[in-house]
Amino acid sequence: MGRAGRKKHINEATRRCIATGNTQPRAELIRFVLSPDNLVTPDLSERLPGRGMWVSAQRSAIETAIDRKLFSRAAKTQATIPNELLKLVEDLLMKRVTNLISLARRDGSAICGFEKTKSALISGKAVVLLQALDGSKPQKGKLRPPDGENTHITCLKSTELGLAFGRDYVIHAALAAGGLTRSVKHDVARLSGIRSENAIIKAKQSDETGAERLKTNE
């Protein structure tokens, strides 16, 4: 590949964050566009028309873009920020993740329940361990995630994992190798960045009663 070809490939794979100024892989960023009425709109699938405005998938970066009116600067026009844009991004990412896990369940590459998850880990079939952030720490500590990077997902609440499996709640689950699992890991990385430590603490507090009930389940 010539020098021009390599440069084009790099440009397609990276974007500059409007909040930090850093050039990052697209997988670590969230794309936003303006709607016809100039409303800042998250484009998680990166398919919406219009000039993209890229922000690092970190809570602080999006807060900076909002507070410093960087969307308007990037769009070169007055942009309207929807109420609770951060929560909107978080909710959309959570839905993408749970939908992907649900698809994985349907094709047989996602299972849940303590014993099934344990068996999948021991056999080596599982490449990712998912555990609810509001589950019992002692119970979760009984399972060891597979070796490697990004093999332990803990940013979803038990009710959110439950959505993916058609249950009220799920504490332990596992994913086998495959394209859907790669997509889950991609969106989970972005969701984890948006769900700051404070957000996770609040989630734990809000589900404290439920967590006690779930200690010996799933």
Global confidence as pTM: 0.83
pLDDT, tens digit, 9 for 90 and up, residues 174-193: 999 999 999 999 999 999 99
Question: Which pairs from 99-104 meet CB under 8 Å and 24+ separation?
Answer: 99/164, 100/180, 100/183, 100/184, 100/187, 101/130, 101/161, 101/164, 101/165, 101/173, 101/175, 101/184, 102/163, 102/164, 102/165, 102/166, 103/180, 104/175, 104/176, 104/178, 104/180, 104/181, 104/184
What is the model's pLDDT at position 201? 41
What is the model's pLDDT at position 11? 52
What is the model's pLDDT at position 149? 87
Where in the chain does DSSP place strands (E)? 14-16, 23-25, 29-34, 40-42, 53-56, 110-112, 126-131, 152-153, 172-176
pLDDT, tens digit, 9 for 90 and up, residues 11-50: 568 999 999 999 999 999 999 999 999 999 999 999 999 9
pLDDT, tens digit, 9 for 90 and up, residues 47-91: 999 999 999 999 999 999 999 999 999 999 999 999 999 999 999
> Domains in the chain, please, with CATH?
3-82 (3.30.1230.10), 87-214 (3.30.1330.30)
